[in-house]
A and B are shown apart, each in its own frame.
Chain A
Amino acid sequence: EVQLLQSGAEVKKPGATVKLSCKISGYTFTDYFINWVRQAPGKGLEWMGLVDPDDGEAFYSEKFQGRLIITSDTSTDTAYMDVTSLRSDDTAVYYCATMPEIAAPLLDSWGQGTLVTVTS
């Protein structure tokens, strides 16, 4: 069974950095990108970036360029996302997910989500 297990809820102050993790099981980690998607309260889904665990290359939404670092660790089958310079509007549920890809068999699976609250 494919599973993506995310780290627990975080409360951070403005300006701080949060590090989120996503540990996979049930498939070969290097076969699929890991995407990070967030959803602010009452808002829509927002794709933030992805990492290719096969070579560690990451791609970021223009909106978050410079504030995100997405990495992967093949020794632990875990992806990470650092969000820096946090603001109150970064308060959201953050998901990691495998999603449809052009060059891979379909695997769509989501983590349970991590609530990040940014408050002074």
Chain B
Amino acid sequence: DIQMTQSPSALSASAGDRVTISCRASQSIHRWLAWYQQKPGKAPKLLIYKASNLESGVPSRFNGSGSGTEFTLTISSLQPDDFATYYCQQYDSHKRTFGQGTKVEVK
């Protein structure tokens, strides 16, 4: 299975901060990467697909980039609603995998 490694595992930030989360694949996944946001007790919400495409209704402060094995999710100006856990997920292979998650906490 393709391994997905996210960093950091957690970060503390304040509203208005720029936040960057990294995701590395163990082999090239081209651009077949999605980013999800999850809040406690809720199903994950898709933010980004195909590395950089914004899901409908997702604010433009979320930006995805990268290809091959290195990917980044950037939140340009953190809003109170953005404190959550974020996961990358590859779908290059029929055997999908998630990163271990990045918890964005209030500083």
On A, residues with C-beta under 8 Å from B are: 35, 37, 44-47, 50, 59-63, 95, 97, 99-102, 106, 108, 110-113
How far does the alpha carbon of A37 sit from the alpha carbon of B30 in the complex, in Å? 23
**Count of A-B contacts with CB under 8 A?**
61
Contact of B50 among A59, A60, A100, A111 (CB under 8 A): A100
User: Which B67-107 residues have C-beta < 8 A from chain A?
Assistant: 85, 87, 89, 91-92, 94-101
Contact of B43 (CB < 8 Å), options: A35, A59, A95, A106: A95
Q: Which of B87, B95, B99 sits near A59, CB closer than 8 Å?
A: B95
A99 / chain B contacts, CB cutoff of 8 Å: 34, 46, 89, 91, 96
Can you offer 19 A-B residue contacts whose CB atoms are under 8 A? A44-B100, A44-B101, A45-B38, A45-B101, A47-B89, A47-B97, A59-B94, A60-B95, A61-B95, A95-B43, A99-B91, A100-B34, A100-B50, A102-B92, A108-B46, A108-B49, A108-B55, A110-B44, A111-B43
Q: Which residues from chain B contact A112 at a C-beta distance below 8 Å? A: 43
Q: Which 7 pairs across A and B sit closest by C-beta, in order of nearness?
A: A110-B43, A108-B46, A59-B94, A44-B101, A100-B49, A47-B96, A45-B98
Which residue numbers of B lie inside 8 Å of A, CB to CB? 1, 32, 34, 36, 38, 43-44, 46, 49-50, 55, 85, 87, 89, 91-92, 94-101
A62 to B96 alpha-carbon distance, docked (Å)? 11
Residues of B with C-beta under 8 A to A37: 44, 98
Whether A50 lies near B32 (C-beta < 8 A) is no
Instruction: Give the distance to chain B from A120, nearest Cβ to Cβ, in Å.
Output: 26
Q: Which residue of B lies closest to A52 (CB)?
A: B94
List residues of chain B with CB within 8 A of the CB of A113: 43
What's the Cα separation between A97 and B34 when bound, in Å? 14
Residues of B within 8 A of A95 (CB): 43
A54 to chain B, nearest CB (A): 13
Contacts A61-B95, A100-B49 known; list 13 others, CB within 8 Å: A35-B96, A37-B44, A44-B85, A44-B87, A44-B101, A45-B87, A46-B98, A50-B96, A99-B34, A99-B96, A100-B91, A101-B91, A113-B43
